[in-house]
Amino acid sequence: MKFTSFATVMTVFALFATGNVYAQQQGEKQSSKIVKTANSKKATAKKSSTNQKGMQHNHAGAGHSHNHAAGGHEHGEGHQCPMMEARKNANYVPTPSEQTLTAMHKPMMDVKPSETGNVERDFLVNMVPHHQGAVDSAKLVIEHGKSKKVQKIAKKIIKAQEKEIAQFNELLNGDKLQATDISTENYQQFLADNKKLSDDMMYAMGSVKPTDDLDRNFLEAMIEHHKGAVNASKQILHYSQDKTVRKIAEKIIKAQEKEIAEFGELLQNNSL
């Protein structure tokens, strides 16, 4: 009886101890599971946060690229013409200044820069829409402007640059141009230099903000527009050996540098 009772007691004690060990093991397993789950959630949250930061960084980077690398065409996006924001509202009626400044940009933004492998042809092809922008904007100044001095300037621009556009197209359609022999490396440098000059011009023109003073806005933008033509002409003189193209470039430099000084003086003296 005593032996049986002692054995029974020891059995119960063993079962109790085993139960405690099992419970402890289960508790440890459960605790480990909770810790793993918590760590997993932290890792997921950290990863999500990192991804969001990355997305924000990429978005900011894309915005930067858009604003400084780029305009509607390959001369550089982000150099927005004055009507860019206005076009978002279909009911918006542009002011005369907005129309005029946009007209100055538009022909250049509607085409890609020429890459024919011939620097003479590239220069003339690119100069046609450049001149056309001056003509289109000058016509709007004559229609909407108030200054007789500025209207006189606009008429002079139209006459001179329409004549040159006809000359450029005639040369491009004929066989009088003598292509300068140029290495691939030098031609690529020509294109890179030309793109930078064009981007700088479009950025400077785009920095002219439309106001109620159309005549002033026109001259401010035309100064930068003329500088673009002068710089492109100086560039082609560095590359081209064709006598006709060199003569055209020299003429543009002389005429438009003179007008840049004239426009600047009128603006500075407020004598429009």
* pLDDT of res. 166: 98
| Residues 135 and 263 placed together within one structural domain of the fold | yes
Query: Residue 270 has what DSSP assignment?
Result: T
Q: Determine the structural domain holding residue 48 and report its residue range.
A: 1-68
Q: What does pTM read for this prediction? A: 0.70
Number of domain units in the chain? 2
| Residues 104 and 45 placed together within one structural domain of the fold | no
* pLDDT of res. 80: 53
| Residues 29 and 160 placed together within one structural domain of the fold | no
| Residues 96 and 194 placed together within one structural domain of the fold | yes
- The tens place of each residue's pLDDT in the chain, 272 residues long, gives 444 443 443 443 343 444 444 444 444 444 444 444 444 544 444 444 444 444 343 433 333 333 333 344 444 444 555 555 555 677 888 999 999 999 999 999 999 999 999 999 999 999 999 999 999 999 999 999 999 999 999 999 999 999 999 999 999 999 989 999 999 999 999 999 999 999 999 999 999 999 999 999 999 999 999 999 999 999 999 999 999 999 999 999 999 999 999 999 999 999 99
| Residues 100 and 58 placed together within one structural domain of the fold | no
Helices (H), 69-182: 96-109, 119-144, 148-173
Task: Name the nearest CA neighbour of 201 among 226, 179, 237, 234.
Answer: 226
Sequence letter at residue 110 = D
User: Three-state SS for 20?
Assistant: helix
| Residues 64 and 137 placed together within one structural domain of the fold | no
* Residue 242, C-beta contacts closer than 8 angstroms, at least 6 positions apart: 120, 177, 178, 179, 180
The rounded distance, in Å, linking the Cα atoms of 60 and 153 is 43
Tokens 């109790």 sit on residue: 16
* pLDDT of res. 210: 95
What is the CATH classification number for the domain harbouring 256? 1.20.1260.10
The CA-atom distances, in angstroms, between 174 and each of 171, 177, 220 are 5, 8, 36
* pLDDT of res. 90: 74
| Residues 193 and 235 placed together within one structural domain of the fold | yes
Q: Which CB contacts under 8 angstroms, 24+ apart, belong to 251-258?
A: 252/127, 252/164, 255/160, 256/226, 256/229, 256/230, 257/226, 257/230
Q: Is residue 74 situated within a structural domain?
A: no
Sequence letter at residue 196 = K
